[in-house]
Amino acid sequence: MTFLVTGATGSVGRLVVDRLRAAGAPVRALTKNPRKAALPADVEVIEGYLGELDTLPPALEGVERMYLAPLPGTVHDVVDMAKRAGVRRIVALSQIDADREAERDESEWHYHAIEKAVENSGLEWTCLRVGQFFINSLDWADQIKGDGAVKGAYGAATYAPIDLGDIAATAAATLLEDGHHGKKYMLTGPESLKRTDMVRIIGEVIGRDIRFVEQTREEAYKEMYDAGWGEAADWMLDLDARFTEHPEVALPTFERINGRGGTTFAEFIAGNADKLR
């Protein structure tokens, strides 16, 4: 049984490769740049990309189960090609707001388009809905190394962020094990944290007094826009406002599937402390 990992050098896909290898599964990796990928010798590497459909037939040949990276533009064609090639199970990476997307015009669908394609495929499918990642906190590194203050609006915005490795572990588990067909799993980390909590924890772990400096929305928007966010700054600030009013709750989904507790934020920071000092 061959497992295909698409987006195999992406932030999650690369870790899915490792998890499947650790379980002894034969892995085929789809990547645009095999040399740069430097994948282990026991991984079969195929040069290709979900957005370039003519590269997919050799990647899909003989594959029974597939991890699907989120690329909505070609997802319907990709799923159709996978079905015709004999793929039986797809685990797709999605996002917590997939249902909200469904309320908008179809031209604005991203994750909802991915979910709809796999749901309608007639194959076994599982969608992993994720939100904020721990790794996003490393974007504060320059501020922390500088004056030890993290600036931003909505310090009370409360998320239950998750480690990329825990997402990959769940993807591998749902690919390897039966019993997950037709499930849309909401994946969170093990704790709900305000942004101010995250900054405090970083300080405690690296042994420094790190402050959160509350900005107005306008101040935060200008800094984010100038830093390259563009109009996406408004989207992110809207999200922060929403999770200030309606805090995200940590769910037990990861533990139920994997049989262990998820990585804590403090554990993540301890493993990445050198990037913040």
pLDDT value at position 37? 76
Q: Where are the beta strands (DSSP E) in 120-202?
A: 124-130, 149-152, 158-159, 183-187, 193-194
What is the residue-averaged pLDDT of the chain? 96
Task: Give which of 37, 36, 58, 64 is closest to 46, Cα–Cα.
Answer: 58
What is the spatial distance between Cα 243 and Cα 157, in angstroms, rounded to a whole number? 5
Task: Give which of 107, 138, 272, 114 is closest to 205, Cα–Cα.
Answer: 272
178 φ, ψ (degrees, to nearest 5)? -85, 170
On whether residue 182 sits in a domain, the answer given is: no
145 φ, ψ (degrees, to nearest 5)? -70, -25
On whether residue 40 sits in a domain, the answer given is: yes
> Which residues of the chain are under the pLDDT cut of 50?
none
User: CA-CA-CA-CA torsion for 64, 69, 73, 78, nearest 10 degrees?
Assistant: -10
pLDDT value at position 177? 98
**63 with 44: CB under 8 angstroms?**
no
| CATH code of the domain covering residue 46 | 3.40.50.720
What is the spatial distance between Cα 214 and Cα 257, in angstroms, rounded to a whole number? 38
On whether residue 213 sits in a domain, the answer given is: yes
What is the spatial distance between Cα 200 and Cα 149, in angstroms, rounded to a whole number? 11
What is the spatial distance between Cα 84 and Cα 177, in angstroms, rounded to a whole number? 23
pLDDT value at position 57? 98
What is the spatial distance between Cα 184 and Cα 271, in angstroms, rounded to a whole number? 30
- Both 223 and 118 in one domain: the answer is no
On whether residue 178 sits in a domain, the answer given is: no
pLDDT value at position 38? 83
On whether residue 170 sits in a domain, the answer given is: no
CB atoms < 10 A from the CB of 146, how many? Answer: 8
pLDDT value at position 103? 83
- Both 149 and 226 in one domain: the answer is yes
pLDDT value at position 259? 98
Query: 102-155, pLDDT tens digit by residue?
Result: 788 777 788 999 999 999 999 999 999 999 999 999 999 999 999 999 999 999
CB atoms < 10 A from the CB of 228, how many? Answer: 8
pLDDT value at position 228? 93
Output the six-digit token pair for 259.
């049989």
Tally the domains of the chain.
Answer: 2
pLDDT value at position 231? 87
Task: Give which of 51, 50, 38 is closest to 4, Cα–Cα.
Answer: 50
pLDDT value at position 248? 97
For residue 49, what are the domain limits? Answer: 2-130
HSE, side-chain direction, 13 A CA sphere, residue 173: 18
pLDDT value at position 219? 96
pLDDT value at position 67? 98
pLDDT value at position 2? 97
On whether residue 16 sits in a domain, the answer given is: yes
- Both 116 and 225 in one domain: the answer is no
Question: Side chain identity at 175, as an amino acid letter?
Answer: L
